[in-house]
Structure 1
Amino acid sequence: MMKLKDQHIVVTGASSGLGYAMAEALLKEGATVALSSRPGGKLNEAVHNLTRQGLDAVELPMDVRSEQSVNDAVDWVKKEWGKIDVLVNNAGIGMRTVNPQFLTDPQPFFQVSPSGFRDLIDTNVTGYFLVSRGFVPFMVEGGKGKIINISMNYETMKRKGFVPYGPSRAATESLSYIMAEDLKSYGITVNMLLPGGATITGMIPDEVKKQLEGRFQLLDPGVMAKPIVFLASGKSEGITGQRIVAIEFDKWLQEKGK
């Protein structure tokens, strides 16, 4: 039996990497999933790859930095679906936008350009705020909803050469905790999910991946599949304000008695 039948879910940053892996996992459990990212061939191809497998994937172009773009996406969901059960905030850009060699040649914060800093914060922090702000009133109307905010390791938040990515994820975690408190009385839960280590995504350039071979193991994006399905399903009902590490998910489940 599919765990997510009749569930309607929006996943941002879903054209590749963690977002694509999570969208695919949710779809395979019977959910209808809107894959969201900036419009273009990459998003078209991602949705096509899933629909040709017979999965109920739809394309939802959205620039999370733009209030108008977010509002247009919310309007589409209201018109086409009439509800939203789960929002997965995942859209983000990484350190490669300010330093392509960030893992092998970290640079100090004072060498980061102001425009590079602002662009990353606008996407990774303000984007989570704008998308949540856009969809939450719709969830409030329905009296329920789940928000899952994707984050990264604490080590990333204090690692040498990781401005502005580290601060952006620290900010999204604070935002998540406060959102969870603000939404308790509305029947809406907010939880965080992170892989638990460096992951094979587009945030790490191919040439850097080659340099890292043999030095440490990169995680596969599929590590997010099991926990994202749990958080989107009825099994997570009432759980809120949690920070879940994907590689430690089974241990977390045992501790929670789930």
Structure 2
Amino acid sequence: MGARETDVSGVRVLLTGGTSGLGLGMVRAVVAGGASVVLTGRDANRARRVAERETAAGPGAATGIAMDVRDEASVADGVAAARASMGGIDVLVNNAGIGMRTVNPRFLTEPRPFYEVTPAGFTDLMATNVTGYFLVARAVVPDMVAAGRGTVVNVSINEETMRRRGFMPYGPSRAATDAMSHVMAADLAGTGVDVHLLLPGGATVTGMIPDDLPEEARGGLLEPTVMGHAIRWLCSSASAGRTDLRVVARDFVPPGDTSPA
């Protein structure tokens, strides 16, 4: 992959849900490329510890803050803190989310029908995965529009998973964020603000995978590092002017790139 496509030196990134899993994989990728990152988590101390560790690895820098994406006031405070820390936000990565384990810890081996999902579990997952993306983008994007530039990356999943048996409400939540991302891109057309979807391209080694997953199935899981090349390109100037892309990280090759990986 050519250096120009992945140069993110000085880019200012707000990445939600950055303390573990795919979020942490993306934080490491952009910090390694020289970006400044504010990563969020519900636990402020954990977010700070992760940020300190990633900053030590450099050459970029990370700051960890608390943010509950379900809560409008928490989002407003977190976005304000991110702006103050970095002097602005060039890229928003909407990644904070919860998975099927929260409503069914054995969702892969013992899938349950939708009518066994509790209303409380349904509501909390949708508030995190759907309303959370909306609230953070709503707080960040106006300044991007005023500046005439910026990027929003909404992390998603395979379309097959959105309709999979026993995946209520996680599948529908990601179908909703997919649709919302396309609407965001349409609403922002001509403003200089680009919006994209990014998905790993398969099940990944994260806390969303149930503990009882058979060992033979674990061998096929993708590592969170799979997101690295794609997120660095999406955060870089090389992606500017393109919008409404659906990028599969596992298969990602930068448009026009003919250099060796």
Q: What is the TM-score of this pair, normalised by structure 2?
A: 0.92
Counterparts of 1:122 and 1:214 in 2: how far apart (Å)? Answer: 30
Counterparts of 1:61 and 1:215 in 2: how far apart (Å)? Answer: 31
Deviations 1:177-199 (A, max 9, x none): 00001111211000000001110
Matched, 1:72 2:72: no
Deviations 1:64-112 (A, max 9, x none): 0010011111222333333111000000000000000001110000000
Matched residue type, 2:46: K
Does the 8 Å contact 2:44/2:64 carry over to 1? no
Counterparts of 2:84 and 2:243 in 1: how far apart (Å)? Answer: 28
Corresponding residue of 2:233: 230
Counterparts of 1:128 and 1:65 in 2: how far apart (Å)? Answer: 9
> 2:86 is matched with which residue: 63, 68, 81?
81
* Count of equivalent residues: 252
Counterparts of 2:149 and 2:218 in 1: how far apart (Å)? Answer: 45
Corresponding residue of 1:113: 118
> 1:49 is matched with which residue: 19, 32, 53?
53
Matched, 1:13 2:17: yes
Corresponding residue of 1:126: 131
Q: Aligned-pair distance for 1:215? A: 6.9
Q: After TM superposition, where is structure 1 displaced by more than 2 Å over at least 4 residues in a row?
A: 39-42, 77-82, 212-216
CA gap 1:177/1:135 in 2 versus in 1, 3 angstroms: same
Does the 8 Å contact 1:34/1:58 carry over to 2? yes
Counterparts of 1:119 and 1:65 in 2: how far apart (Å)? Answer: 8
Counterparts of 1:75 and 1:215 in 2: how far apart (Å)? Answer: 40
Can you give the 5+ residue segments of structure 2 that lack an aligned partner in the other structure?
none
Deviations 1:195-230 (A, max 9, x none): 01110001113x224x24347600101000000000
> 2:97 is matched with which residue: 92, 96, 99?
92
Counterparts of 1:216 and 1:4 in 2: how far apart (Å)? Answer: 32
Counterparts of 1:228 and 1:168 in 2: how far apart (Å)? Answer: 22
CA gap 1:215/1:85 in 2 versus in 1, 3 angstroms: closer
Task: With a CA cutoff of 8 Å and minimum separation of 6, indicate the structure with the bigger relative contact order.
Answer: 2
Counterparts of 2:137 and 2:88 in 1: how far apart (Å)? Answer: 14
Can you give the 5+ residue segments of structure 1 that lack an aligned partner in the other structure?
none
Matched residue type, 2:72: E
Matched, 1:217 2:220: yes
Counterparts of 2:105 and 2:190 in 1: how far apart (Å)? Answer: 43
Corresponding residue of 1:31: 35
